[in-house]
Structure 1
Amino acid sequence: MLTERKRSVKMNIGFRENMTVEFKSDLKKLSDDVIIESVVAFANTDGGKFFLGVEDNGDITGLHPSHKDPSKLAAFIANKTIPPVAVQTELMDADDVKYLIVTVPKYTAIVAASNGKVLRRRIKLDGEPENIPMYPYEMNTRLSSLRMLDYSAQPVPEAVYSDLDPVEREHLRNIIQNYHGEKNLLDLDDTELDFALRLAVEQNGTFVPTYCGMLLIGRRERLSTLVPTAEAAFQELQGTDVAVNESFVLPILMAFEKIESYMDARNHTKEMEEGLFRISIPDFDKRAFREALVNAFCHRDYTMLGRVRVLLDDDGLTISNPGGFIEGVTIENLLTAEPHGRNPALADVLKRIGLAERTGRGVDRIFEGSLSYGKSLPDYSESNTNQVKLFIPKSLPDKAFIKMIAEEQSKIGRPLSINALLILNALKSNRRLRLGELAHMIHLNEYKVRTTVEKLVESGLVEADGNGNSRAYILSAALYKNADNVIGYVRQTGIDRIRYPELVLKFAKNNQGKVTRKDVMQLLHLNQGQAYRLLVKMTEEGKLLLVGKGKFAYYKIK
């Protein structure tokens, strides 16, 4: 009787469906086609887990007898998918009710069902997931994000060689000259230049522009027809008033200079004089802005509708582009991921003509543009799978921080590394941090952080306190003195030590009046020698009394 009552209450899986989780009822034997479609959709998105024998609300209702053999179902899935999808199947039991978990890996190729269907997953407006067809243009997006297709290097259908504009080609030559690009490119004739930069390819005995070529030097009237996604916009808001709102379809070189001219007229600069240093401080670092704009044009997904958008408002500068981060790049590893782009041919041209950072580390330049002036960091947190959105806040510079950086760079004869700037900025904002806290904050591994921060200690920019896991770091006295904030420095370095005796006595009072050296080490994160010296000093001051010797010794309140 108890068993029957227990079974009448359905067990629930305890969580909901999302992009990587799907439930399917199997009471009436789920069709083979639906199973295969779900697997294909997972493989073409982010992978995930497919729960067979679970209702949409999470209730576990069990498997149809024909699906109770996990290995048989896995083999069936492999035979009905192209390329074969190798899933993991696990038979589960919830109070004698069986269900199946099918784990589907994310594939680095387009997966189709054997009947030709290609699907992907998405979230509907109501927040629920669904499987929908993947259209041809989405396949290009998928492959380019996986770095398996360079869309910018593909020939443009219906384009002819004369669609490349001789005036824009000359413009490109001028950029090579003015931005210190590869000078040997200037020695090439037009056709040789186009092939060297992959602006055109030979196809069936004729020259055909690539997307890279049309985007860079295509005729304006043909660009809007052949590559309608090559749109950009500049907007300026003053409060809620729209001061500028202009959209245009132009070759990238022309669009780039148009947007730069808008920014130059609005990017105000202040002069800072400090001793021998005279530093110009712009609202937004010009090199950082240029790299951010290059990244937006270079890494956008040209198969998606949308535009590169630059918005200037009272809060700061926003630069966004269609297409999310490519495979392997996240907000957390943005500064450490191996540099690679969505459109390698286009990125290569922009580097070779001198417009983009040659090392591929333009994102470092974007962060450096804020870090060098002690300003708020660039923010990518609003980026998603459909767009990358960079926000650079408009913030006041930290003059003491600027002076410290300028003096150090003058002393060593080169700029500080991006890791050093990130560490200094984190300490400026948080005052006192341990190694693990620093590593977590700036998204770097502890080995790299330790190497860089100890070099900063040697240079005198950072001071360290303690040993081992208790070792903490603060900015040096020089910064606080430059900012006329000696009180702040003393507070950071001395307030903990002043409170040590108070904390030891408080611990002893709550521990039957006793405290050991080991207790002090754990309480105050001190090493053995530091704990011993503190206890000896408190004994000499008459606050504690030593009882016993050796490992059984302890101190009691006097």
Structure 2
Amino acid sequence: MKTEAEIRKLIAEGESLTLEFKSDRNRLPDRELIAALVGLANTDGGALLLGVEDDGDVTGLHQAHRELSGLSALVANRTIPALGVTAESVLIDGTPVGVIDVPKSRQLVATSEGLLQRRRLMANGTPESIPFLPHEFIQRQSSLGLVDPSAAPVVELDVKQLSALERERIREAIRLYGGDQSLLALDDPELDGALGLTTRHEGVYCPTVAGLLLLGKEAELRRHLPAHEVAFQVLHGTDVRVNEFFRKPLLQTFKEIESLFLARVEEQEVDIGLFRVPVPNYDRRGFREAFVNSLVHRDYSRLGAVHVRLDDDGMTISSPGGFVEGVTLENLLTTAPRSRNPLLADIVKRIGLAERTGRGIDRIFEGMLRYGRALPDYSMSNAVTVSVQLTNADADIEFLKMILTHEEKAGGALPVDSLIILSSLREGRRMACTELAGAVQKPEGAVRSVLERLMESGVVDAHGTGRGRTYTLSAKVYRHAGQKAAYVRQSGFDRIQQEQMVLSYINAHGSIRRAEVADLCRISPFQSTRLLKKLSDEGSIVAKGQGKGTYYERG
């Protein structure tokens, strides 16, 4: 059962892909209600609030809809396959509102009249329901992991029409990138079968979609996979320096794009200990993983090119098709590897072009973080595009020295969790375990274990105890970087100093809030609460107001 407060919060957030308002002042027809529920189920599920206007005004349920106990049966009987929803009535200031929860369907759902709908966001950000078109069926099933589009047979093509040159390119890639060496001993038909480049359909061998992408000639690719296109662009301000488009087989496309990219990689060498270490403006391995991901995981049923764009801010790689089912910005680093095109992903791994473990995302993060650059930015991704931006900001040489020194002592490369934590402390200066857990996308217990190892190695210091414990880069790290004073600022002041700072702030400004204490003393919100309580108990300050509006004055 949802509470009135929860429904008010939903209404205040407004309509979205997962929330729809429907007026019931004139009794919403069953046909329109069922269609709206189908649209939610065919998108991401969510809730429909019956008795709420588009602007969020609560007008209530029509008399005919005051009893919602039979609504679930009505919806199941009027949808194919039967859609299971739950419905309840919630009073908002005494006005009844119907709350209908709709699960995300793992198969396409239509009304009994054959109406198939989904929801989308318009250009102004507001949602709308639109027809679910036939060519979008495969996109939906693919995103749910129900079908593998890359394994589908291309029955119009004969295997004899495939390119022998591209097959040799596959063998060359296996040798170059350390792929599955057992494939090199196979003849052409055996290689095609082992990789899944061809399949038997009605007694005749024909290429799969993956086989066409890797072995197809350009004319056949244009004809049978018109969505396959890759663009490489170089911009300087608003000037377009390079704007190349490719519709060639995947390996050939990869080689040509890689050559264009490598021509723009610049390196500076820095002395670290006894060695000179190259520091590139772009990490080669990170680029390779990001670009290969864009080719392998894109939606080949959706028109639009894979874009590789270099500009003044860095490099952006984007591909058509949003994240596959179960992958979000919040679990990108930890979710199990999955692909929209499993066969194509497996082929690329066996060739050696992509990370065999399926954790190529770690390579992308590592390629940015070890040089002291910002995290890869996926925030511009949406339901129809995955986009990652890799900044070309100057490397932090002192941070790189710290990483290399630590790896030399540890006898191995730092895992990506440690790199994220060290990078976060470099940027955030002083952080609690809960904040670091959000950055790493793992439970606090796992993050504490990583922090303990970093503390043992001398690169992280802990401050405080219990829930209020925070972490900074160690005094040794700041000392080697020539920033001794910075460590003192970040490690904070003792309790007596903090109390005097709070009292001085109130004397100067009249009052102080908890957030201002945290900022002033460089402590966590929890620690600032404890500090204010101590001063209140002593009578030095007095709390005024309530809740989030609480502030403190001299006692």
The interval holding the TM-score normalised by the smaller chain is 0.7 to 0.9
Indicate which of 407, 412, 419 corresponds to 1:409. Answer: 407
Go from structure 1 to structure 2 and tell me whether the alpha carbon gap of 1:374 and 1:125 turns closer, same or farther (over 3 Å shift). closer
CA–CA separation in structure 2 for the residues paired with 1:64 and 1:490: 66
Q: CA deviation at 1:64?
A: 3.9
CA–CA separation in structure 2 for the residues paired with 1:29 and 1:434: 53
* 2:142/2:149 contact within 8 Å kept: yes
CA–CA separation in structure 2 for the residues paired with 1:186 and 1:138: 38
Q: One-letter code of the match for 2:42?
A: N
Q: How does 1:23-34 map to 2 (within 5 A)?
A: 23-34=21-32
SS at match of 2:193: helix
CA–CA separation in structure 1 for the residues paired with 2:216 and 2:527: 69
For structure 2, the residue ranges without an aligned partner over 5 or more in a row are 1-9, 511-525, 535-555
Q: How does 1:58-77 map to 2 (within 5 A)?
A: 58-77=56-75
Go from structure 1 to structure 2 and tell me whether the alpha carbon gap of 1:500 and 1:184 turns closer, same or farther (over 3 Å shift). same
Query: Any idea what the Cα deviations from partners look like across 1:233-286, whole Å, max 9, x if unmatched?
Result: 100012222111011101110110010000111110111112213211111110
Residue in structure 1 matched with residue 354 of structure 2 by the alignment? 356
Q: How does 1:138-149 map to 2 (within 5 A)?
A: 138-149=136-147
Go from structure 1 to structure 2 and tell me whether the alpha carbon gap of 1:402 and 1:343 turns closer, same or farther (over 3 Å shift). same
CA–CA separation in structure 1 for the residues paired with 2:53 and 2:527: 51
CA–CA separation in structure 2 for the residues paired with 1:335 and 1:198: 29
TM-score if structure 1 supplies the norm length? Answer: 0.86
Q: How does 1:52-91 map to 2 (within 5 A)?
A: 52-91=50-89
Residue in structure 2 matched with residue 514 of structure 1 by the alignment? none
Go from structure 1 to structure 2 and tell me whether the alpha carbon gap of 1:132 and 1:522 turns closer, same or farther (over 3 Å shift). closer
* 2:431/2:472 contact within 8 Å kept: yes
Q: How does 1:327-476 map to 2 (within 5 A)?
A: 327-476=325-474
CA–CA separation in structure 1 for the residues paired with 2:453 and 2:13: 48
Query: Any idea what the Cα deviations from partners look like across 1:470-514, whole Å, max 9, x if unmatched?
Result: 22211123322222222222333364467257359879999xxxx
Q: One-letter code of the match for 2:473?
A: L
Residue in structure 1 matched with residue 539 of structure 2 by the alignment? none
Residue in structure 1 matched with residue 157 of structure 2 by the alignment? 159
CA–CA separation in structure 1 for the residues paired with 2:361 and 2:338: 12
Indicate which of 76, 101, 124 corresponds to 2:99. Answer: 101
Flag the structure with larger Rg.
1
Q: One-letter code of the match for 1:273?
A: D
Go from structure 1 to structure 2 and tell me whether the alpha carbon gap of 1:522 and 1:415 turns closer, same or farther (over 3 Å shift). closer
CA–CA separation in structure 2 for the residues paired with 1:315 and 1:505: 44
Q: One-letter code of the match for 1:412?
A: A
Residue in structure 2 matched with residue 302 of structure 1 by the alignment? 300
Q: How many residues align?
A: 506
SS at match of 1:71: coil
CA–CA separation in structure 1 for the residues paired with 2:529 and 2:89: 50
CA–CA separation in structure 2 for the residues paired with 1:242 and 1:508: 55
Go from structure 1 to structure 2 and tell me whether the alpha carbon gap of 1:170 and 1:13 turns closer, same or farther (over 3 Å shift). closer
SS at match of 1:489: helix
Residue in structure 2 matched with residue 538 of structure 1 by the alignment? none
SS at match of 1:70: coil
Residue in structure 1 matched with residue 116 of structure 2 by the alignment? 118
* 2:329/2:379 contact within 8 Å kept: yes
| Structure 2 residue 127 is matched with structure 1 residue 129 | yes
* 1:470/1:525 contact within 8 Å kept: no
Indicate which of 177, 198, 222 corresponds to 2:220. Answer: 222
Q: CA deviation at 1:79?
A: 1.1
* 1:55/1:61 contact within 8 Å kept: yes
Go from structure 1 to structure 2 and tell me whether the alpha carbon gap of 1:134 and 1:409 turns closer, same or farther (over 3 Å shift). same
Q: CA deviation at 1:49?
A: 1.8
CA–CA separation in structure 2 for the residues paired with 1:397 and 1:122: 40
Indicate which of 194, 199, 206 corresponds to 1:196. Answer: 194
Q: CA deviation at 1:65?
A: 4.1
Q: One-letter code of the match for 1:268?
A: E
Q: CA deviation at 1:127?
A: 3.8
| Structure 2 residue 257 is matched with structure 1 residue 259 | yes
RMSD: 2.4
CA–CA separation in structure 2 for the residues paired with 1:330 and 1:523: 33
Residue in structure 1 matched with residue 519 of structure 2 by the alignment? none
Indicate which of 30, 38, 45 corresponds to 2:43. Answer: 45
CA–CA separation in structure 2 for the residues paired with 1:170 and 1:31: 62
Q: Report sequence identity in percent.
A: 48
* 2:337/2:358 contact within 8 Å kept: yes
Q: CA deviation at 1:31?
A: 2.4
Residue in structure 1 matched with residue 177 of structure 2 by the alignment? 179
Larger mean CA deviation between 290-299 and 489-498 belongs to 489-498
Go from structure 1 to structure 2 and tell me whether the alpha carbon gap of 1:345 and 1:14 turns closer, same or farther (over 3 Å shift). closer
Q: CA deviation at 1:51?
A: 2.5
* 1:159/1:226 contact within 8 Å kept: no
Residue in structure 1 matched with residue 247 of structure 2 by the alignment? 249
Residue in structure 2 matched with residue 516 of structure 1 by the alignment? none
Residue in structure 2 matched with residue 545 of structure 1 by the alignment? none
For structure 1, the residue ranges without an aligned partner over 5 or more in a row are 1-11, 511-520, 532-558
Query: Any idea what the Cα deviations from partners look like across 1:178-234, whole Å, max 9, x if unmatched?
Result: 111001011111111111111111001111111100111111111111111110010
SS at match of 1:335: coil
